[in-house]
Structure 1
Amino acid sequence: MGSSPRCILVGSLGGSWAVVPEIYGALAPETLDLYARHPERDAVRAELHGLRPPDAIHLVTTSGDRAARSIDQLSAWWEALGQPFALRIWQAEGTDELSTPAECQRLRELTYRVVLAAREALPDSGQLLLSLAGGRKTMSADLQAAAQYMGCDALLHVTDVGNLDPALREAGPGLFETALPAVLARQIRPLNLGANPRSELLDLDPAIHAPDFPLPESANGDVCRWHAGDADAPLFETLEARTRESRRLLGNFVSELVQQETYGNWRSLYRLPPARLQELRHTPIGPEHREWLQRLPKADLHRHIGGCLDLDQQRTIAEAIWAASTAPEQAAAREATSTLLRYPGAGGGPASASSRSPEGSSDWPWNWPEQLRAHCPPWQDLRHHRALCASALLLQCPDARLRRQLYGITEPRVGLKNTHAYGFQAYERPGELTGSAVLGHPAALPAYARALVDNARREGLAWVELRGSPHKYRPEDPEGFLRELRDALQAAGAITSDQTDAFRLPGTLGGQPRIGFVWILDRRQPPAAIGEVVNRATRVRGSLGAFLLGLDLAGDEAQNPPAALEQHFQPAFRACLPITIHAGEGEAADNIWEAAYRLHADRIGHGLTLADNRPLAQRFRDRGILLELCPSSNREVIGFHDPGITESHSQPPYPLGPLLEMGIPLTVCTDNPGISRTTLADEYLAAARMQAGAGHAGLTQWETLALIRQAFVHSFLPAQLRDPLEKLVEQEILGRVMEHERDQPL
């Protein structure tokens, strides 16, 4: 027999010793097909499907002559069968008739200890089976109570028809060495009464473990006598006391847990068994949790519409644009892109040193987007021409070469803002054929919206705050652009944030992502022009309702500091529009202060230098101003150490750890998932990896769930829409966590 059994059957042994072979024959038909002639043989097997044959049977019995006779017959049967399992028997001394409370308590104590020891002797994937048949009613009750505490994979029983045939009732070992005759087999039937979960009371401090309630060592096939010594701690009394005090103990456990936390988690999770809570709190997330992360309902608060799509999706948009264009428009696009398509660039592979510099590169020139715009015919709309040129490149350039021109020549994508000759432009290069390059074309929106919704579904996003600049996509009618985008998202299966009735409907998330829009203002524009866009966005909010969630200010932080824009934001302040500001993305914490105090930011995009200003960080914590961290984007633009990226090892540590320790509200976002070739699940894994690489403990599952909750709590949704969404998400998260628990072996 192996030293670590995979399945242990625990039962009691009274005068009816035959219940052991009756149970064993049902569980191990390959060894003993006892029910081969039973009229319900197939039903019995189906009922026990998934239960393994026991490779160990542990029995509890009383002292006295009747128990001794049962042991002798059981041992003879076991020997005749060839000892197919390990047999261990514990006998409680002084329990002959179970006629006094003291005798019953001694047997109950032994039963609890044997079940607890069996539970802890099994590996994580092992099965614990308990048999309620075979002993007196008090013995069966003790086993059933033990199952309530220690848990089991199945409670088993054997019923009979009453008035058993004497040949069965008085049978010796020989009858149970082969299949029962049909006339006898039909008189008994094994039953599976179901599994029992392990009680959380075992895990309350101090946790209960078998070594604290020892048993004498039992040799295989021998009977071990157990005496309840005066010094022994009574396991059954400990458990019964915990049952009486369970509410107070569980309350204390949760209270201590909450006091240790930086962020509150989903409230329903605190009702999980303490063992599951501890598992969530102490399990760091890693690549093996990617599917778990993917399936959790999440929110992405920082996702640029222009950087969302991968190349395959961009080609789908290109096909829609190309199909909607005229032959002269297509010819003009082919002519404009012909030089790039014939350009003597490499067909793939890593970037050379020369390709990271402005001189000596054989790849597309860095100003190729401007060159394409310069080739626009006078009779054609510039935005349509740009979209057609992007489509021509996407559809006609070989995949390997296109990937090199967009990604390869900027690799390694670490710290591009400071290490690449073209700085932030190198980061943006993979997005040159999407976003504003195509969104100005009317044929792009339906396909673009379908791709956005497909991505949200695939990534498990329950809430998405897209952000972009409608005044760039359609300067003459940004409101019309937003209306068409909203309608296209709804047609693709999303619920947009102005569909208030749909948000309030009870039920489930149903695979329908909820999506709203944040209007981006560009720091590179003159302050007066930014003010005009603020005015326009404020008016649009009045007509589009909650679909337009708020404003964002992005672009080079050195241009148009908040002090120069404060007066131009007044219409947004008066309209109480939520505001998020890109600040502290590798720049001084003073920029974050300016965003918070001059532009009244509710959230900050990135905010990576906030920890440099301790009083400001404390103010963020006090006021609940959230940071939107985007690990992959931050690594690519600013440069941070990521243990998964060799070229980043000389970069500074990611500031997630200090920000978490300071209690700053924050969550994880994607920024430009198409540009960074990432998903929100991958961003949580990157955050955990970069956190560990900075010398801190990686993110645990519990911390991850709390960060996911932060995203929903700090979304720009109005409370009357946010609250019902949070409830739906919490319901699904609890289900996912419990589903994961059920998938784990007891």
Structure 2
Amino acid sequence: MHILVSALGAQPDIITETVGVFNYAPTADFYAASRSLPQITAARQGLSRVDELWLVATDQPHQEISMADGHTRIINSTEENFACIKQQCGAYGVQCRLFLLQDVPDIKSNDDARAFHDLALRVVAAAKRRANGGKLYLSLACGRKTMSADMQDAAWCFGCDMLLHILGDSKAEALPVLLGAVAANPALQNLRDQVPEFDSAAFLPCPPQTSFLDQIQEQKKQSQHFFTTYYLKEEESRANFHILYTLPLDKIKALRDEKIGIDPKRQDEELEWLKHLPKADLHCHLGGVLDPEDMIAVAECYAEDLEQAARTNPDFARWRATLSPFQVPPSGGWKGGASTRRTSCTSQQV
């Protein structure tokens, strides 16, 4: 059993485009006229035809909105969109199911977002079990951005055989982007197996709840160091960015053992090493590297620059006037024990 899971928003055609990535034939290929067909054909290698399409959606009602130009804009209900998708995907031999977040017409609050997140997690967990060794594919292509984020989080929690998106180029051509497989979080597999089976109905209204999301978040909190111990087979008092622990063990050891700033003679060599080290997130929290006196010294270094900018740039002066007295140093800088360190601060380029 191969299953495709996707959120469903206001544009059901995206669902047909997504199904068309997997289920096609030479006489009925959604992408047959695409300029990128050779690349799409190559990307499809290894993908399986899906047997079932599972959709997660909010309870959007049918609406007719009067526009300023006198026209009427019609917004189909979720049920109407689902009926259209069933008809279109039936040509591909796909059985469709809709999991509807009951009485929530749209994501407009944190409660709505959490309820949809919970439903997405439960649906993906149930789909993983239903696939029973078959393929599970997750799409990020439809629905609001929060819905796509929820689908991606479900992938990181329970794993999938392919995460994909559908993008449009400058000529409005649908282009599938295959993002690869995602491994399941080992710490959450016990929760996946606890999800109750859904009713077998094709249309399934689901009351809003957050109990499963609460369990997932609590499990993540309790197992925050599991990722490191899973890969390194040892306990760590503190964890780094978790993605670093997916590096080969020899690379992890090299990063652990490398000490810099100890031997002045190695400064050039160390700077060159740092220059070639891949950077994923390069920033500095001043509160973590400076004591209070140093923070005051740094602020005093820039006090004159701020005053000069305020005198010469009216826009900057108006913005600066909106700040509280605690957000910007007064004219002349703060006075205190660190004022005599101003010159050294500048010379060290802190």
Task: Give TM-score scaled by structure 1 length.
Answer: 0.28
Superposed, which structure 2 residues align to 1:362-381 within 5 Å? Answer: none
* Residue pairs, 1:419-458, within 5 angstroms: none
Q: Secondary structure at the match of 1:146?
A: helix
CA deviations 1:658-697 (Å, max 9, x no partner) are: xxxxxxxxxxxxxxxxxxxxxxxxxxxxxxxxxxxxxxxx
Asked if 1:208 is matched to 2:191, the reply is: yes
State yes or no: 1:159 paired with 2:167: yes
Match of 1:12 in 2: 7
Paired residue for 1:193? 179
Corresponding residue number in structure 2 for 1:69: 80
Q: Which amino acid aligns with 1:21?
A: T
Deviation at 1:163, TM superposition (A): 7.3
| Distance in structure 1 (CA, Å) of the matches to 2:224 and 2:199 | 36
Q: Does 1:52 align with 2:48?
A: yes
Q: Distance in 1 between matches of 2:117 and 2:146?
A: 9
Question: Take 1:238 and 1:11, find their aligned partners in 2: how far apart are those partners?
Answer: 23
1:117 pairs with 2:99: no
| Matching of residues 74-113 of structure 1 within 5 Å | 74-79=85-90, 81=91, 84-113=93-122
The answer to whether residue 23 in structure 2 is matched with residue 28 in structure 1 is yes
State the distance in 2 between where 1:10 and 1:63 align: 18
Q: Tell me which amino acid in the other structure corresponds to 2:136.
A: L
Query: Partner amino acid for 1:68?
Result: E
Hey, what does 1:498 align to over in structure 2? none
* 1:134 corresponding residue in structure 2: 142
Deviations 1:259-301 (A, max 9, x none): xxxxxxxx94569xxxxxxxxxxxxxxxxxxxxxxxxxxxxxx
Contact 2:191–2:216 (CA<8 Å) still a contact in 1?
no
Q: Is the 8 A contact 1:201 1:239 kept in 2?
A: no
Residue from 221, 224, 237 that aligns with 1:247: 224
Q: Does the Cα contact within 8 Å between 1:26 and 1:45 map onto a contact in 2?
A: no
Asked whether 1:234 is paired with 2:216, we answer no
In 2, Cα distance between the equivalents of 1:128 and 1:216? Answer: 17
- For structure 2, the residue ranges without an aligned partner over 5 or more in a row are 62-76, 236-249, 252-350
Equivalent AA in structure 2 for residue 190 of structure 1: P
Residues 56 and 99 in structure 2, CA contact (< 8 A), matched pair in contact too: yes
Query: What secondary structure sits across from 2:105 in the alignment?
Result: coil
The offset of 1:250, in angstroms, is: 6.7
Distance in 2 between the 1:17 and 1:162 partners? 21
Which structure is higher in helix share?
1
Mapped to 1, the partners of 2:197 and 2:207 lie a distance apart of 9
Alpha carbon RMSD of aligned pairs, Å?
2.6
Q: Which runs of 5+ in 1 are unaligned?
A: 165-186, 255-266, 272-505, 508-746
Separation in 1, partners of 2:225, 2:49: 41
> Secondary structure of 1:208's match?
helix
Paired AA for residue 191 in structure 2:
I
1:38 equivalenced with 2:34 (yes/no): yes
> Post-superposition shift, 1:110?
0.7
Structure 1 residue 249, shift from structure 2 partner: 5.7
Residues 444-480 of structure 1 deviation map (CA, whole Å, 9 limit, x = unaligned): xxxxxxxxxxxxxxxxxxxxxxxxxxxxxxxxxxxxx
Q: 1:57 aligns to what SS in structure 2? A: strand
Answer yes or no: is the 8 Å Cα contact 1:130–1:143 preserved in 2: yes
Shift of 1:248: 5.1
Contact 1:112 1:146 in 2 (8 A): yes
Structure 2 matches for 1:444-523, cutoff 5 A?
A: none
What is the aligned residue count? 221
**SS of alignment partner, residue 90 of structure 1:** strand
Residue identity matched to 1:114: V
Q: How far apart, in 2, do the equivalents of 1:88 and 1:42 lie?
A: 32
8 Å contact from structure 2 (residues 19, 89) kept in 1 = no
> Deviation of residue 213 (structure 1)?
2.7
Structure 1 residues 248 and 26 mapped into 2: Cα distance closer, same or farther (>3 Å)?
A: closer
Query: Which letter maps to 1:196?
Result: V
| Residues 14-63 of structure 1: CA deviation (Å, up to 9, x unaligned) | 11101121111121222831111211111112123111011111110110
Residue 33 and residue 224 in structure 1: after superposition, are their counterparts in 2 closer, same or farther (change >3 A)?
same
Measure, in 2, the Cα distance between the counterparts of 1:22 and 1:100.
Answer: 30
Residue 192 of structure 1: how far off its partner (Å): 0.1
Letter in 1 for 2:59: S
Residue aligned with 1:60, SS: strand
* Contact 1:156/1:191, CA 8 A, preserved across alignment: yes
Contact 1:215 1:226 in 2 (8 A): no
Q: Distance in 2 between matches of 1:60 and 1:224?
A: 10
Normalised by the length of structure 2, the TM-score is 0.58
Query: What amino acid is the match of 1:67?
Result: T
| Rg larger for | 1
Query: 1:214 Cα deviation (Å)?
Result: 2.4
Q: Alignment partner of 2:224: what SS?
A: helix
SS in 2 for 1:158: strand
Q: Deviations over 1:318-345 (max 9, x none)?
A: xxxxxxxxxxxxxxxxxxxxxxxxxxxx
Residue 142 of structure 2 aligns to a residue whose secondary structure is coil
Higher RCO (CA < 8 A, seq sep 6+): 2
Task: Give the match's secondary structure for 2:113.
Answer: helix
Listed one character per residue, the Cα deviations across residues 531-580 of structure 1 (whole Å, up to 9, x for unaligned) are xxxxxxxxxxxxxxxxxxxxxxxxxxxxxxxxxxxxxxxxxxxxxxxxxx
- SS in structure 1 at match of 2:41: helix
Give CA-to-partner distance per residue, 1:109-129, whole Å, 9 cap, x none.
1100010011111233x2110
* Residues 201 and 72 of structure 1, relative CA distance in 2, 3 Å threshold: same
CA distance in 2 between partners of 1:245 and 1:57 (Å): 34
Contact 1:28–1:54 (Cα < 8 Å) also in 2? yes
The alignment partner of 1:118 has SS state of helix
**Structure 1: which amino acid aligns with 2:6?**
G
Paired residue for 1:147, among 151, 155, 177?
A: 155
Alpha-carbon distance between aligned partners in 2 of 1:70 and 1:34, rounded to the nearest angstrom: 19
Deviation of 1:218 (Å): 3.2
Mark the CA change 1:215 to 1:111 in structure 2 (over 3 Å): closer, same or farther: farther
Q: What amino acid maps onto 1:20 in structure 2?
A: I
Query: Secondary structure, in 3 states, of the residue corresponding to 2:176?
Result: strand
| CA–CA separation in structure 2 for the residues paired with 1:86 and 1:242 | 34
Asked if 2 retains the 8 angstrom alpha-carbon contact of 1:114 and 1:215, the reply is no
Cα distance change, pair 52–155 in 1 and its aligned pair in 2 (3 A): same
Percent identity between the two aligned chains: 25
